[in-house]
Every structure is written in C-alpha cells, then in structure tokens.
Structure 1
Amino acid sequence: MKPLLLLLLVLSMASCYNVNRNCTDFKTGHFYSEINIDGTTFKSEFSRTDSLQIESYEGKIDSSQVRWINDCEVVFRTIHPKNRVERKDIHLKILTTTDSSYTFEYSYVGEDLKQKGIAIRAK
C-alpha cells in the first residue's frame, strides 16, 4: 500500500511542473525581442513568415531563412552574410509560451554557449 501512495505522490508533484508551450502560435507574426547579456539589454523587432525572418536592430535590417525543426525549434540562416560570424546558423528553442509572448534560448549551431531572451507579439 505504501509504494502505491508514494507513486501517487510523485505523479501528482510531476504534474505541477508542466510547461506551457503553444509554439505553433508563434511561428509567424510581428514581434519585439529582448535579450540580456552581461547586464545589457538588447532590443530588436522582427517579422516572421513560414520561410523568412526580417529583423531590425539598431537601424540595421537582417534577413534570414527560417527552417523549423519541430514546432518549438527553428534554425535561422542569414541570407546575405557580410562576415564569418553571420555565416553561422542560429538555433532557437522556444522554452515557454504565454498568450502574447515566448521565452527562448538560442546559440550558434554546434556551440554550447546559450543565451536566453523573450519575444513579445506586437499589437
């Protein structure tokens, strides 16, 4: 009887940690993004379609091809890279979602250093 109670307790606690991820709601649209790196907040604005993302950051516009790995993970490839860093693909994973925003982590493909940020759907 005790093992059954222990199992029920473990299962009930595990259900408290379900992460809400409705990633398909954020595959396309217009968003604002904030990323904090070493105490500095970087803000950008971007629009995403099924196959293209156009981002504006500090007056510069970048375009990237979009390739969804699954509903919550995407790889971006800069269309016209100007240097070696821009040639590296970026892997982004949506960690959690709300009705109007998502929290994500991203890194260059093949690198371990990950950064986190938040994207908010533009009104």
Structure 2
Amino acid sequence: MYFSSAMIKVFTLSLLTALIVTSCYNPERNCTDFKTGKFEFETYLNGEVVKTTFVRNDTLEIDFYEGKADSSSIRWINDCEYIAEKINPTSMRDRKALHFKILTTKDDVYTFEYALVGESNKQKGTAKKIE
C-alpha cells in the first residue's frame, strides 16, 4: 500500500491535534464546593449496597451508619485533600488516620480516593451532596 506525503502529513497533523486536545483535558475539581455540607455515600459491604450519611464542616465530620454516629476531626491539607482521625477510636485500626483526596466534581457529586495514612492501597468512592 502506498501513502502519499500529503496523506502522511494529514494523518500526523490529526494525530498531534488529538493528542494535544486530550492531554489538555483536566477533570472538573471544584473542591471548595464540597468542603462542608451533608453527603450520602454508597458502597458495597459484604456483598450488599450500604448507604452512609455524613455531615462535614471545616474541622469535624460526623458519619451516620445503621443508627450510630461516629465523629472524626478533619485537617485540610489543601482544597482537595484532608486527613480524618476518629475522635473516640474503639480499635487499633480506628486509631489510624485516613487520607482523603477529591479527584473529580460534577454538579452535586464528587469522586474521591482514600487510604490509611502511609498506605498505598487506595479505595475509591462517590459522594453526593444533599444539603
């Protein structure tokens, strides 16, 4: 098969344009819109979808799950990342702080990743702002 130099130039230009457009794409991250408020978070736990509600302000997050409340102190690292530490831990695992990072935002929903501080095994989740 023969390709003319004009065809190669058009192909190369198209490829470069596509690379430039996709490399400049930055997902929406309006993290400050999600620093405070009331949120819902759904996840799978033991094969079932469970829903947690939590309320967060600048320094405190209160999680509500199965009729119980659990409080954590919040320390923001930047507009999109914070460290959460249980105020009244009941186990050694609860004593370890969690690092949260907001990855993307859209309308009233944000996606995030989280892990124990210092751990590389990250989990992902999605939360919806309800108030």
Q: Tell me the SS of whatever aligns to 2:126.
A: strand
- TM-superposed CA distance for 1:60, in Å, is 1.6
Count of aligned residue pairs for this structure pair: 120
Q: Report if aligned partners of 1:37, 1:115 keep a CA contact under 8 Å in 2.
A: no
Q: Which runs of 5+ in 1 are unaligned?
A: none
Specify the alignment match of 2:117 in structure 1. Answer: 109
Equivalent AA in structure 1 for residue 51 of structure 2 = K
Q: Does 1:30 align with 2:64?
A: no
Equivalent AA in structure 2 for residue 12 of structure 1 = V
Q: Normalising to structure 1: TM-score of the pair?
A: 0.86
Matched ranges for 1:1-123 at <5 A: 5=13, 7-15=16-24, 17-36=25-44, 39-123=47-131
Q: Tell me the SS of whatever aligns to 2:77.
A: strand
- TM-superposed CA distance for 1:31, in Å, is 0.5
Report the CA distance shift for 1:90/1:12 in structure 2 as closer, same or farther (over 3 A): same
Matches of 1:102 and 1:31, distance apart in 2 = 10
- TM-superposed CA distance for 1:38, in Å, is 6.7
Q: Which runs of 5+ in 2 are unaligned?
A: 1-8
- TM-superposed CA distance for 1:13, in Å, is 2.7
Matches of 2:45 and 2:17, distance apart in 1 = 42
Report the CA distance shift for 1:10/1:38 in structure 2 as closer, same or farther (over 3 A): farther
Q: Tell me the SS of whatever aligns to 1:95.
A: strand
| RMSD (Å) for aligned C-alpha atoms | 1.9
- TM-superposed CA distance for 1:39, in Å, is 4.4
Q: Tell me the SS of whatever aligns to 1:35.
A: strand
Identity %, equivalent residues: 52
Q: Which has the larger radius of gyration?
A: 2
